[in-house]
Amino acid sequence: MSQGPADDLLPAHLLFLLREKGRICPAEMEKDACRTLGVSRRQVKAAVKALTASGEIGYSFEHGRTCLEPGFLRPVRLGRRVFVMPPEAQFSPGSGEVAVRLAPGPAFGCGRHPSTRAAVACMEAVFDRFCPVRVADLGAGTGVLGLAALALGAKEALLADTDSWACFASRQNALINNMAERVCILQEPAHCIEGSFDMVLANLRLPTLLELLGNFAHLVRPSGALVVSGIKEDEDKVFLQKALLEGFCSITQHGDGLWKALAFERTSGPAPIKEIS
């Protein structure tokens, strides 16, 4: 079957959509292309498949939602010091900079979501204060946060997720970064994790984070750190106030677009309640 004008315009239109939105769910992309260009869903799926195969676009998975985003072809800066990149990319780090190599996959992205970048910024602030030895990344996905912590100097990391593909991705990425011997991967919900950690990382949505606050209080050792992300900018006061009641003292916070990440120190007892401005 010969291609028509719409077929020729379709790849460029899909790339334009991603540049405009940064990230879009496949169904929304199909609907837009079908409406704008008059193509069929089958044609859109074929174009997406071709663009994915070429590396120009890729799939990601954040907060239970599969999306399409621009391709992952070169090093991407997540924070002051942390970069992520595909396995074959070349990288010449500057002073103090570290890189995590991530394998491309069908369900999980490269960590460029604003909530991930915000979490990395807060994690780097923790490493400016002290070097955590043992860290836990809960709801780890590709394992990017836990592996970044290892790259920054942590000695061992527990990566936990309920999704079997997430655990597979974490395992592959640990191998790619020569960190497999320093990583423990568990297919378990966050509330089932036990132990004592110098730093706990959790990039999850607010309702889940609030449910896990009691667990965080048991997992983070006294004077250890908690970094949470996946919080929208109008939700941070709710978590801050409840975290204070669980004995966490705010260290810093970082916003990226509509998302925020918060970093805390675990005190030996509940902190006094104070007004959150």
Do 132 and 18 belong together in one domain?
no
pTM of the predicted model as reported, rounded to 2 decimal places: 0.75
Do 240 and 169 belong together in one domain?
yes
Q: Identify which of 192, 202, 229, 214 has the alpha carbon closest to the alpha carbon of residue 138.
A: 202
pLDDT string in tens for the chain (277-residue length): 344 445 678 998 888 888 777 678 888 999 999 999 999 999 999 998 888 777 678 777 665 677 887 776 678 888 999 999 888 888 888 899 999 998 865 434 556 678 899 999 999 999 999 999 999 999 998 899 999 999 999 999 999 999 998 899 899 999 999 999 999 999 999 999 999 999 999 999 999 999 999 999 999 999 999 999 999 988 999 999 999 999 999 999 999 878 899 999 999 654 444 444 3
Task: Please count the structural domains in the chain.
Answer: 2
Classify residue 143: in a domain, yes or no: yes
Do 155 and 230 belong together in one domain?
yes
